[in-house]
Amino acid sequence: MTIRVSDIAVRVGDLLLDEDHIRWPLAEIIRWGNEAMGAILNRHPQAFSRVSVMSLVAGTKQTIPEGGVSLLDVVRNMAADGVTPAGAIRRSDRQQLDDADPDWHTHKPKKAVRHYMHDDRMPTVFYVYPPVVADVKVELVDTMLPAEVAEDDEDGEFDCRVEYTEAVVNFICYRSLSKDADFANGQLASGYYAAFEAALGVKTQAQMAASPNQPTNSV
Q: Longest C-alpha distance within the chain, in Å? A: 69
**Does residue 152 lie in a domain region?**
yes
Instruction: Tell which residue, 22, 51, 47, has the closest CA to residue 182.
Output: 22
Same domain, 52 and 140: yes
Q: pLDDT digit of tens for each residue in the chain (219 aa)?
A: 789 999 999 999 999 999 999 999 999 999 999 999 999 998 888 889 899 999 999 999 999 999 999 999 999 999 999 999 999 999 999 999 999 999 999 999 999 999 999 999 999 999 999 999 999 999 999 999 999 999 999 999 998 888 999 999 999 999 999 876 666 677 899 999 999 999 998 654 444 443 334 444 444
Considering the domain architecture, whether residues 115 and 55 belong to the same structural domain is answered as: yes
Chosen domain end from 144, 160, 189: 144
The model scores a pTM over 0.75: yes
Residue 31's domain comprises: 3-46+147-208
Residues 152 and 138 in one domain: no
Are 22 and 66 contained in the same domain?
no
The total of structural domains in the chain comes to: 2
Instruction: Tell me: do 110 and 24 sit in the same domain.
Output: no
